[in-house]
A and B are shown apart, each in its own frame.
Chain A
Amino acid sequence: MENSQYDLCIEVLSRLDKVGALKNLVLVGSWCIPFYKEYFSGSKYVTSITTRDVDLLVPLPLGIKAKVDLEDLLKDLGFILGFKGPQGYIKLEHPDLVLEFLVSEKGAGLDQPFKLPELGVNAQRLRYLNLLTSKLINVKIGSLRINLPHPAVFALHKLIVSKERKKERAKISVLRIKMLQSEF
């Protein structure tokens, strides 16, 4: 991982901390891995590849009281607002990092973003995220305290999600074959 990417991530987290948002968010996804280094400080731990996506889970009900304009907060770092998919999920983009917000999906599920006016963004609803918040750890990086899912919970979640993704990929492959067949 490039140092500049890591430093940028720390800067983003610091700014979120300054406005009081970080304590109400949980860092999930591949960016947990470099921060687990602190948790596993007593053992040999090698961090793996991380993508650009920094996934921030927003546990509900949201504890942030004062309104924070995230776009404005990160604008001078070069972040711009981007939209993902036909649903219009908001993400904050930078060539080195992409910030995305997630909330746990419950019940039958809705195919539309969850509005987060307190942060000036919206969040994508995803299944099984409540598993990640079932056991949290708090890691200290410099002056920052970052909420992360417990590594065991993180691993279990990855196993469940990868199985689901395999099913989805299989469905997409079947659809592609059907489309090709209909073309001929």
Chain B
Amino acid sequence: MGTIKNVLREELNNSLQMEKDYLRELAKLPKGSLIKKKVKGHEYFYVISRENGKVKFRYKGKLSPVEIKRYKDVKFYRTKYRGYLSKLRKQIKFLRSSLRGKQSV
């Protein structure tokens, strides 16, 4: 096999491994997003998530700024990792199609 194909194969293996790793990191993140509701001038928090196709609200009450930040961080990383997974899947598709050619390059 040619040098370029070897590099592409290595990159494909890296992307496949990375896809697994990002899925592992996503699974580690707690489910749901934090939402705020205002009732009679007071702010209360709920965690909204989808379970078995149904939207569930879990009451959290009043949260400290540290806890709010933690939920924000989770949201930030979840969005980031999902974006990277999409990017990696595009890379995998491209690399697989590039390696399908029979030319030795």
Binding site for B on A (CB under 8 A): 49, 51-53, 75-76, 78, 80-82, 84, 93-95, 98
Q: Are A52 and B7 in contact (CB under 8 A)?
A: no
**Are B18 and A95 within 8 A (Cβ)?**
yes
Which residues B65-105 have CB closer than 8 A to chain A? Answer: 76-77, 80-81, 84, 87-88, 91
Residues of B contacting A53 in the complex (Cβ-Cβ under 8 angstroms): 14
Contact call A95/B21, Cβ cutoff below 8 A: no
Q: Given A52-B14, A80-B25, A82-B18, check contact A95 B84 (CB 8 Å).
A: yes
Q: Chain A contacts of B43 at CB under 8 A?
A: none
- Sample of 9 more A-B contacts, CB < 8 Å, known A52-B11, A76-B76: A51-B7, A52-B14, A80-B21, A80-B22, A80-B25, A80-B81, A82-B18, A82-B21, A95-B18
Residue tally, chain B, CB below 8 Å to A: 18
Given contacts A80-B21, A80-B22, A82-B17, contact A94 B7 (CB under 8 A): no
Residues of A within 8 A of B10 (CB): 51
Taking the closest CB of chain A, its distance from the CB of B89, in whole angstroms, is 10
Interface pair A95/B91, CB less than 8 Å apart: yes
Q: A76–B7 Cα gap in the complex (Å)? A: 28
- Is A94 within 8 A of B84, CB to CB? yes
> Within 8 Å CB of B7, what residues of A?
49, 51
Task: Tell me whether A78 and B80 are in contact (CB under 8 A).
Answer: yes
CB-based contact A93/B81 at 8 Å? no
Q: State whether A98 touches B84 (Cβ < 8 A).
A: no
> From residue A2, how far is it (CB to closest CB) to chain B in Å?
12
**Cross-chain pairs A/B with CB under 8 angstroms, 28 sampled:** A49-B7, A51-B11, A52-B11, A53-B14, A75-B77, A76-B76, A78-B81, A78-B84, A80-B21, A80-B22, A80-B25, A80-B81, A81-B21, A82-B17, A82-B18, A82-B21, A84-B17, A93-B18, A93-B21, A94-B84, A95-B15, A95-B18, A95-B84, A95-B87, A95-B88, A95-B91, A98-B14, A98-B18
Closest beta carbon of chain B to A174's beta carbon, Å: 16
Output the least CB separation between A105 and chain B (Å).
Answer: 21
Give complex CA distance A69, B9 in Å.
31
Q: Which of A52, A80, A81, A94 has the most CB of B within 10 A?
A: A80
Nearest CB of chain A from residue B33's CB, rounded to whole Å: 19
In the assembled complex, the Cα of A120 lies from the Cα of B4 at a distance in Å of 34
User: For B81, what are the chain A residues with a Cβ–Cβ distance below 8 Å?
Assistant: 78, 80
The answer for the CA separation of A94 and B91 in the assembled complex, in Å, is 13
CB distance from B79 to the nearest CB of A (A): 10
Greatest chain B CB density within 10 A among A51, A75, A76, A78 is at A78
Nearest CB to that of B87 among chain A residues?
A95
